[in-house]
Amino acid sequence: MSTALTTPTSSPMATAAVLAAIDEAAPRLAALAPEAERLGRLPDESAAILRRTGLMRMLQPKAWGGAEAHPVDYIEATLAAARSGCGAAAWVGGVVGLHPWELGVMSPQAQEEVWGADQDTWIASPYVALGRARRVDGGFVLTGHWYFSSGSDHADWAHLGGLVVDDDGEPIPGSDHHFLVPKGDFEIVPGSWDTIGLRGSGSNDVVVDERFVPTHRVLEYATVVDGTAAAAVGQQDSALYKMPWFVLFGNAISAAVVGICEAALDATLAYQRERSNVFGTRQSQDSFTLPSIGEAASDIRASRLQVIDNVRRVHEVLERGEVPTIAMRAEARRDQVRASWRAVAAVDQLFARAGGNSIRSDQVLQRLWRDAHAGLNHAVNIPGGAYQAAALTQMGLDPEGAVL
């Protein structure tokens, strides 16, 4: 088993050590950010830094060298990584850092296969059900093409979403499953990640062609979403592993977005502090720019607090042995989406007042602005359905079909 440095417990001291490690690594992650953009993936050094901080194992079971940290601590760590100034590193940390949590509610055999030789193994995704799986003896045969597999260049496994097909090859409605596939059974499509934002996240297309996936490496999607998968592997008393998937995953995505916006605020303050506009007015004395910075800072902080509160409230319900209601899950989704949009709108105001030089490619602010907008385009940040579902539950109505 690996003996690489990680946080050994979920104690406040261990969490503080992760945050301290991220803070210490932040300047180097920021310095490597342009290289990540050039490569279209995290440089090996950036990936190694993320491993050393302990972020990637915060949600991993203690039995496999993880921290089993409080989920709020994981959200805080993702925010901190984003504030480093490398949005791509934070994005990979938030997304790939969640995947040990899902493996933690899978079969012990699957956990042994992934972590038995190396507890620092990374698992990529995506979960969207673009694959098609045919039932065979002992498992499924999976085929598909997926987009947005963040961190896949550094991953040895991938959680891939798919639908089971019937005897005629037609997808069975409601048959969504997650399939855990090793590297070699999935392939990265060369040159598939070429974007305007989060370029360094390496969110490649991946393909699988007629590969067998045994039953112990398959998880029914619905049991992950509602948090009931934990009971099947003896985690029925764990508030962490009973967290509803969208509450944890959605807020991890938003934490990366909001943290990038915090980094953009930091960059704005540094940039505007000494800047004069074309009329010779110091921005630190400008009565138009300063109020806009103050307003943006408040909106970004509100987003941070909302993301943290979403996760804390649901976790507290589970700690009491209760089940989060559909209304609570809908509120968490609504607020998670709103936090992302509010924070990015605040960055738009900052960028709009940063002057012409801010659009130069060597300026940090323009990269963070692009990264924030790219994160906003993730599926969990689509506002319509999340807002509608929350409104329906507030009216006492059933948000049928809502992604909660």
Instruction: Please tell me the CATH superfamily of domain 123-233, with its number.
Output: Butyryl-CoA Dehydrogenase, subunit A, domain 2 (2.40.110.10)
pLDDT of residue 343: 98
SS3 string, the chain, reads: CCCCCCCCCCCHHHHHHHHHHHHHHHHHHHHHHHHHHHHCCCCHHHHHHHHHHCHHHCCCCHHHCCCCCCHHHHHHHHHHHHHCCCHHHHHHHHHHCCHHHHHCCCCHHHHHHHHCCCCCCCEECCCCEEEEEEEECCEEEEEEEEEEECCHHHCCEEEEEEEEECCCCCEEEEEEEEEEEEECCEEECCCCCCCCCCHHHCCEEEEEEEEEEEHHHEEEHHHHHCCHHHHHHCCCCCCCCCCCHHHHHHHHHHHHHHHHHHHHHHHHHHHHHCCECCCCCEHHHCCCHHHHHHHHHHHHHHHHHHHHHHHHHHHHHHHCCCCCCHHHHHHHHHHHHHHHHHHHHHHHHHHHCCCHHHHCCCCHHHHHHHHHHHHHCCHHHCHHHHHHHHHHHHCCCCCCCCCC
pLDDT of residue 11: 56
Please state the domain extents for the chain: 12-115, 123-233, 245-394
Low-confidence stretches of the chain (pLDDT beneath 70): 1-13, 278-279
Q: CATH topology of 12-115 equal to that of 123-233?
A: no
Model pLDDT for residues 112-131, shown as the tens digit of each residue: 999 999 999 999 999 999 99
pLDDT of residue 402: 81
pLDDT of residue 221: 93
What's the CATH class of domain 245-394?
Answer: mainly alpha
Domain 12-115 has CATH 1.10.540.10: yes
Say what the pTM is: 0.93
